[in-house]
Every structure is written in C-alpha cells, then in structure tokens.
Amino acid sequence: MKIAIIGTGYVGLVSGACFAEFGHEVTCIDKIEEKIARLQRGEIPIYEPGLDQLVHKNVAANRLIFTTEFSPGIPGAQVIFIAVGTPASRRGDGYADLSYVYDAARQLASHLSDYTVIVNKSTVPVGTARQVARIISEVNPSADFDVASNPEFLREGAAIRDFMHPDRVVLGVDSERATEVLKAIYRPLYLLETPFVITNIETSELIKYAANAFLATKISFINEVANICEEIGADVQDVARGIGLDGRIGKKFLHAGPGYGGSCFPKDTHALLRIAQENGVACRVVESVVEVNSAQKARMARKIRKAVGGNEGGKTIAILGLAFKPETDDIRDAPALTIISTLLEHGAIVRAHDPQAMEEAAKALPGVTYCSNPYEACEGADAVVLMTEWNEYRALALDRLKELMKQPVFVDLRNVYMPRLMAEHGFTYYSVGREPVMAGQVNAGGGSK
C-alpha cells in the first residue's frame, strides 16, 4: 500500500521506517528543510537503536522517501498518518498544542483525490479527530475520506521492537471501510497474533492518555513508598519486588528514582487533567501523581545537597546521565534539567557526561561543563550523581573513580549499585528508598545489599 506520513519526528520517522519494512511504499513529509536534507543524506536526526540501519535499508529498496512537498506523496496515498508534535501549550494551562495537527490537516486536504484514510498518530486530546475531519471537509468539500485514531505506544530506546512486536494495536474508527484499510496495513502483525483493539474514535484517543497516566501513577507511587522507606529503615527494592510479584500489580515501572520525564508522561498527565476539567470530572489520582513527581525532583536536589554537607555552593558535582532514560538523547522534562538547574542556582560547579544527550542538554544547560567520559566528569568532584542508568555506568571502575574524586561521595538516584559494595570501596553512598551507608560500613545495606 502507499502511505504518507506527515512529520518526521520520533513517531513519524520510526513509524515510516517500520511500515516500509512491512513492504509498504512510504513517503515521509516534513516542512523543516534542514531535517529532510539530512535524512536524504542518510543522517538520522534522533538517536534510537537500530533506526539508522532500518532507514538506510528501506531507502535503498526505494520503499522510503523523504520530502518537503505534499505532492506527489499525498495524492496517491491510501492512508495518511499525521505524526506531528503536540507539545504542551505555552500558556501552561495543560492543553496540548494542536496547531501542528490542524495545519497538517489543512495542507493535506487540497491534495486528496481518491478515498483516503487520515489517521491521527500523534497523541491528541479526545475530540481532535472530529476537528481534523471538520477542517478537511471545509477545505475540500468533495473529499472522500475517513478520519481514524491510531495512537502509538513506542518506548524510546526500544521503539522498533515495540512497533514490530507490539502489546496491542489500537484502532479508533467510524466505518468498516476505514477498518479494513487499516487492518490491511497492519496485516503483518495479524500473522503474529497481535491483539487488536478496534473501538470508536473517542475511546481510542483516551486509551493513550489513560495508559500513560497509569504508568506515571506507578512511578509516583513507588517514589512515595521509597520516601517512607528512607524514614523507617526499609528497602524499597525489596518492597517493589514483594508487591511486583503479585500478578495483579506487576513489576514494571516500580523502580524508585528521581521522577519521570520525557516527551509523554509529563505532557499527557497534564492533558488528561485538562480533559477531565473541561468535562466537569474529578481526576484526583492523576493530580497527585503530577504533584508527587514535581516534589520528587526537588527531594533529589535536597538529597544531593545533604550529601555534600548541606551547601552545594562552590562544590564540584559530577552528573552521570542527562537523558530522561537510557538509549535515547531525549532530555524533554528530564529530571536532570530540574535538578542541575537547582544545583547551579545554588552555586554548584557541575560537570556532566551522557553517551548521547550532551548536545541537546548544552542548549538547555549552558552553565555545565560537558565531558568526554564519566571519569573526566568525576575529576576533582565533591560528589558524583548517577542520574540516568546507562549500561556503561553500571560497572564503573570504583577504585579509579575514588582516586579521581576530591571526596568519595556517590549519590545513586537509580539504585544501580549495592550499598555494601560501595561501602567496601570506600564511598559514602546515598540511594533512593534505602538507608545511606558510610565508607567502610561492613553491615551496609538491607535485603538488597
């Protein structure tokens, strides 16, 4: 089938490459000329494991094309995916900014000829598909089309696998005609017996928000439990394992840390709250989730301050990890941004390393010294803070690290290391939801040691 995708951001580029891998002819359209020029040269503008190979393979096979023009990609397409950004509104009121979605609808409308299914792939509030349909009809009253909702559930760092082997595919449709077209596009997943949830458009739009809000709830819940653990001498990792083995709860997203970030959870929880408010419905749980997440980032800054003696002014603090999670260069709403900004405001000297995200972080945090490796970042540091659990930080040469540092203080915001091990290597060690241990403390650690 012939597919057009408007938007070559994270969702659009991954979806386009994967649909091409299914054997479809895909045209990816973006108005940013520099981005399209880079893609045409074979340069991938985002970091996602395996994406560069997939793009190069399908470009070489002539199944994947990048362009700034709506013609000829749109007129011959059977399905057009709108995959543009829906950032939080600049007004700070919880609304998702739908201007890019509506602009895409206006631009594609005049190019429609034969029957076409227009699919919202972007994460959008309930009712957006109806507005897209209205706009297209106003611009092109004779257009023969349906609008559908097909939310994405791609995890950054594992997006290709998530697309090729999804937990489910959600289709929000109003007609059998559109349903059959979309089922044909996803036919390779039928062969894998992937569950399909076929529902109305409003339900589909809400599923994405509800899913992300629930996952964010699990994160904020375990962070609150971690804070209790620190006060009573319990171990949050053992608590998480103890409850996660319950099949009704599950172990995923029960990892205590500095709070959630990224392009989805912060934006989508606020948007869901706004949807609830507009419809006169209370959404108290999600309100609390958002509040807890903000408080957790502030708590982590205080934890670091305590670790360096109660005042970070003039202290050198090494930060390992800037992206909101490993295997991505995405720093949107990353805990590192809030925590580092607080440290800088209080006079700290911050040296940082991240395998992929330093270029993006430098735009938001110009006052940081960015280093080529984690050991360079730790030279002369009064404390090192493990912010993002990249694999290369999981087996640091601890003796070398200690020699490089001014003070052997390690603040592990991802609970990567065992307290006993850190104490044996001469570190004063702070983590999340576990008791701190002092250098040389032989009885360090609880059940997780």
- The pairing of strands 196-199 and 145-149 is unpaired
Structure tokens at 315: 């202290």
Instruction: List helix spans (H) across 81-200.
Output: 99-109, 128-139, 159-164, 176-185, 187-190
Report d(CA 369, CA 352) in Å as an integer. 6
Q: At residue 361, what are phi and psi to the nearest 5 degrees?
A: -65, -35
Q: How far apart are CA 6 and CA 105, in angstroms?
A: 10
Nearest CA to 238 out of 224, 251, 248, 247 is that of 251
Q: What is the Cα–Cα distance from 10 to 22, expressed in whole angstroms? A: 18
Query: How many angstroms separate the CA atoms of 164 and 169, rounded?
Result: 11
Q: 40, 46 in Cβ contact below 8 A?
A: no
What three-state secondary structure class fits 87? Answer: coil
28 is catalytic: no
Q: How are strands ordered across the β-sheet holding 116-120?
A: 64-67, 25-29, 2-6, 79-82, 116-120, 145-149, 169-172, 196-199
Is residue 410 within 8 A of residue 417, CB to CB? The reply is: yes
Instruction: Compute φ and ψ for 172, nearest 5 degrees.
Output: -105, 115
Active-site residue, from 18, 28, 264, 378: 264
E strands along 43-115, which residues? Answer: 64-67, 79-82
- CA 248, CA 243: separation in Å to the nearest integer? 9
| Residues labelled catalytic | 264
